[in-house]
Amino acid sequence: MALPEQIPVKYTEEEAEYLSVRPVVRQTFQLAELVDMVLGVTGKDPSRVQQILRTGTVVFNFYRYWWTGFDAGAEELGAVLAQFPDADPGRAFRAEECAAAVLTGKSYEPVSGHVVLPANGIELSRAEAARKRMFRRLFSRKNFWDALMDAARERAPAYLGYSYQRRADLYALEIPPERALAMAREAEKLVPRGVRALTAQIAAAARILFLCPRKS
C-alpha cells in the first residue's frame, strides 16, 4: 500500500496535567514533513519510525502531535528515509562550519547515529559567543567564540553523530577541569553580562559539543 502524501495532523502544547486546556491546532503535513519531525525524536531507526507512524502520536519540541496512524512498509519507508542525511563519522570537524557550541557536564552517546542535545547544557550560538564587552570591543580582537575554537584546535573534536532535530553533525571534545576553569576566566573577561552569569556552569563543564549544520 502506498504511503499517504498528505496527513491531517492536530497538535497542542504538551502539559503535565491530565486535562489540557491548550488550544488544538490543525495542519496538513506532507509525508516528508511528518517523517522529518519524527526523525528528530527517533533518529534514522526504521522500526521506531514505523512504530510512531502506526501509533499516530509524537511529542516534539514541547508539542504533542497526533494523526490517524498508518502502516509504513519497509520498502516504501526506506525510500522516504533515503531523502534524509545519514551520520557520517568520516566528516572532519571544520571550525568555519560550526554554528553553535554546547558546554555540558554529561556524556551523550548516539543512538543509530542520532544524538539528542542535553537539556541542561549551556548552548551558545556563534553570534552570541562572539559578542564582546564594550571595553574588549574597543581594545581586543578576541572573543569567547575564539576561546572555544582554541580548544578545538588543541585537540580535534570527535565525531559524535547527526542531530535530525538540529540538522547538524555533532562533535564532542572532552575538556579537563583546568581547561574548563580557563574558559570560565575567558568568559569573565570577554563576554557580556548575560553570558558572564553562566561562568560557574562553564567552569564545571566536562565537554563541549559543536554543532555543524549540513550545507545540503
Kindly report, residue by residue over 163-216, the tens digit of the pLDDT: 998 999 999 999 999 999 988 888 887 766 666 667 888 888 999 999 999 876
- Quick one: pLDDT at residue 97? 95
Final residue belonging to a domain, choices 18, 46, 81: 81
- Quick one: pLDDT at residue 192? 66
Domain assignment present for residue 90? The answer is: no
Tell whether 21 and 120 lie within a shared domain.
no
Domain assignment present for residue 50? The answer is: yes
- Quick one: pLDDT at residue 58? 95
Tell whether 73 and 143 lie within a shared domain.
no
Count of Cβ atoms closer than 10 Å to residue 98 Cβ: 21
Tell whether 74 and 131 lie within a shared domain.
no
pTM of the entire structure? 0.82
Grid cell 563519522 is found at 89
Q: Compute the radius of gyration of the chain from its Cα atoms.
A: 20
Final residue belonging to a domain, choices 81, 112, 136: 81
Q: Which domain holds residue 199?
A: 95-213
Kindly report, residue by residue over 143-159, the tens digit of the pLDDT: 888 889 999 999 999 99
Tell whether 99 and 203 lie within a shared domain.
yes
Domain assignment present for residue 110? The answer is: yes
Mean pLDDT of all residues in 8-19: 77
- Quick one: pLDDT at residue 17? 57
Residue 44: DSSP 8-state: S
- Quick one: pLDDT at residue 56? 96
Tell whether 141 and 188 lie within a shared domain.
yes
Tell whether 125 and 159 lie within a shared domain.
yes
Tell whether 206 and 139 lie within a shared domain.
yes
Tell whether 105 and 200 lie within a shared domain.
yes
Tell whether 130 and 209 lie within a shared domain.
yes
More confident residue, 192 or 33: 33
- Could you tell me where the DSSP H helices lie in 155-198? 177-190, 193-196
Kindly report, residue by residue over 62-86, the tens digit of the pLDDT: 899 999 999 999 999 999 999 999 9
At 135, the pLDDT band (50, 70, 90 cuts) reads very low
Count of Cβ atoms closer than 10 Å to residue 58 Cβ: 20
In sequence order, the 6+-apart residues with CB closer than 8 A to the CB of 32 are 80, 83
Half-sphere exposure of 26 (CA within 13 A, CB side): 2
**b/e burial code for range 173-188 (CB count within 10 A of at least 16 → b):** bebeeebbbbbbebbe
Mean pLDDT of all residues in 106-111: 59
Tell whether 162 and 58 lie within a shared domain.
no
**Domains: count for the chain:** 2
Tell whether 102 and 199 lie within a shared domain.
yes
Tell whether 77 and 132 lie within a shared domain.
no
Final residue belonging to a domain, choices 81, 113, 135: 81
